[in-house]
Structure 1
Amino acid sequence: MQRLKPVLKPSLLAIAMAASTLSVPTLAQSQEQHPEAVQQLTNRGVTVVENFEAPGGMTGYVGTMQGRPVAFYLTPDKEHVVVGTMLNNTGENLTESKIQELVLGPQNEKAWGQLEEADWVRDGNADAPVIVYTFTDPNCPFCHRFRQAAEPWIDAGKVQLRHVMVGILKQDSLPKAATIVGADNPRAALKENQKNHGEGGISVDRRIVSANAKRIRENNELMSSLGLTATPSTYYKDDNGAIQMKQGAPRPGEMEAIMGSPEP
């Protein structure tokens, strides 16, 4: 998995330690305000997405912090919050499904709509029934490996891989990506970069770059707005039609789920 330059990520443990010490007097609350204990977390950068009834008389909350999902629980006295995963007496994770339902599911659905309208290069048959979107940097070795792994499905006409070309990893990533999307035949240019990846990929055409660099910058901005930090980052539909997202090159055992069928 090829990552961007290091970014500051929140420590959920740190949040939990801070939250576990919160004990505040009850304040008059308007209907629009969160209880003060919850407000302490929002002050630390947590964005609340939704709340729900949780076991033990608690109120569950799910949200995000710097693009990462987070869950926490408000105690019945409304004066304390506990951050983390809730298990029942059989060990079932009660938090994961809520994060998927209320945070990741809606996020991924929204992202899918944005990707449909994005600037991408189709790889495969336009009539292929399965659509997979992936953010691809021309210099990314893991993008290259993912495309190699997807080849049987693409060649069989089962999958069209839509590459949202970005330029984030090296100084010539953006020029290469712009050369691909601005080519007379972007699909052929993409194939050329794939074929010659070990020798540096496609040759940069400065004339094409000057006319198409903005398209790649907009894709870079889209990737950043989705909170993604690695290439490839791939969106696909599971067996139930729900949108899922995978950052980094999928493991061999994950390819069937992403491609929507066993390897041809």
Structure 2
Amino acid sequence: MNFATAPRAALACALLPLAAPLAAADLPAAVKALQQEGVEIVAPFKAAGGLAAYAAMAGKRPVAIYMTPDGKHAILGTMVGAHGEDMSKPQLDKLVGKPLAAKTWKELAASAWIADGSAKAARVVYVFTDPNCPYCNKFWKDARPWIDSGKVQLRHIMVGILGPTSPGKAAALLSARDPAAALHAHESRKREASALASVPARAAAQLQGNHTLMQQMELGATPAIMYLDSAGLLHIEQGAPQPARLAQILGPR
């Protein structure tokens, strides 16, 4: 899933507007009406066929708004070319998808995560991880060739949502003297994390922040994996990826 096209599942939400809202006085009446309904108008652009258009966010979804030639009516939808291509995708990617991806990437970087792999890795992938999640463990195992080769660093954003021991185990990993070593021992099943009976205030705040971010991104399952493609667009994969998807997420082995 990427922020530009969103063919399925939910997109990460913007905690703040992507840009300063366009002044209502500068908008056609039909676009103002959409703005009043909660559509965030990001920027104008010229669509194929010479139509005036606006890049916008409807909820968590980038959309294009096309104006009729008389400027009195607005149409939300997809303009398709002769070969079925989305004619406004480049503009939505540039005006909405890339800024939203960059903004969300900063929010992910500011979360409480545990590094898995070299800090010098060329590729960084974030993943919401619950210590009791078997599919998180599967992804951890499947990613070993990329991690061990130094090509990828996974950043595990720890959450405790799957069971009564999940918060205590996640807190134990975040609070460990060496969180990376503790996570490796836990996921490799060499030494599973023991749930803390009392979660320290700092770890509790970290877990709450991570859970809030996960909710704001409308992610309902772990692992929830996030990565940037070569164009700077953010993609989200929920659940343990199939083998064919691993190379897209983690890059060439």
What TM-score comes out, normalization by structure 2 length? 0.78
The equivalent residue for 1:46 is 39
Identity %: 39
- Deviation for aligned residue 1:31: 6.6
Work out whether residues 235 and 243 of structure 1, in 8 Å CA contact, stay in contact via their aligned partners in 2: no
Q: Which residue, out of 220, 235, 240, partners 2:211?
A: 220
The equivalent residue for 2:228 is 237
Equivalences for 1:41-120 in 2 at 5 Å? 41-120=34-113
Q: Distance in 1 between matches of 2:185 and 2:30?
A: 56
Tell me which amino acid in the other structure corresponds to 2:228: K
Match of 1:70, SS? strand
The equivalent residue for 1:17 is none
- Post-superposition CA distance 1:96-116 (Å, at most 9, x none): 333222212111111222333
Rg larger in 1 or in 2? 1
Q: Distance in 1 between matches of 2:27 and 2:220?
A: 31
Shift of the 68–233 alpha-carbon distance from structure 1 to 2, 3 Å rule, reads farther
- Deviation for aligned residue 1:77: 1.4
Work out whether residues 62 and 97 of structure 2, in 8 Å CA contact, stay in contact via their aligned partners in 1: yes
The equivalent residue for 2:123 is 130
1:253 matches 2:244: yes
Work out whether residues 179 and 209 of structure 1, in 8 Å CA contact, stay in contact via their aligned partners in 2: no
The equivalent residue for 1:143 is 136
Unaligned runs of 5+ in 1: 1-8, 10-29
Work out whether residues 196 and 202 of structure 1, in 8 Å CA contact, stay in contact via their aligned partners in 2: no
Match of 2:143, SS? helix
Shift of the 192–208 alpha-carbon distance from structure 1 to 2, 3 Å rule, reads farther
Shift of the 142–78 alpha-carbon distance from structure 1 to 2, 3 Å rule, reads farther
Unaligned runs of 5+ in 2: 1-9, 11-22
Q: Which residue, out of 154, 161, 175, partners 2:154?
A: 161
Tell me which amino acid in the other structure corresponds to 1:224: Q
Shift of the 73–248 alpha-carbon distance from structure 1 to 2, 3 Å rule, reads same
Match of 1:83, SS? strand
Q: CA RMSD in A?
A: 2.6
Shift of the 87–225 alpha-carbon distance from structure 1 to 2, 3 Å rule, reads same
What TM-score comes out, normalization by structure 1 length? 0.75
Work out whether residues 167 and 217 of structure 1, in 8 Å CA contact, stay in contact via their aligned partners in 2: no
Q: Distance in 2 between matches of 1:76 and 1:171?
A: 59
Work out whether residues 111 and 206 of structure 2, in 8 Å CA contact, stay in contact via their aligned partners in 1: no
Q: Distance in 1 between matches of 2:168 and 2:67?
A: 50
- Post-superposition CA distance 1:60-118 (Å, at most 9, x none): 22222332222221212122222211112232211333322221211111122233333
Shift of the 31–67 alpha-carbon distance from structure 1 to 2, 3 Å rule, reads closer
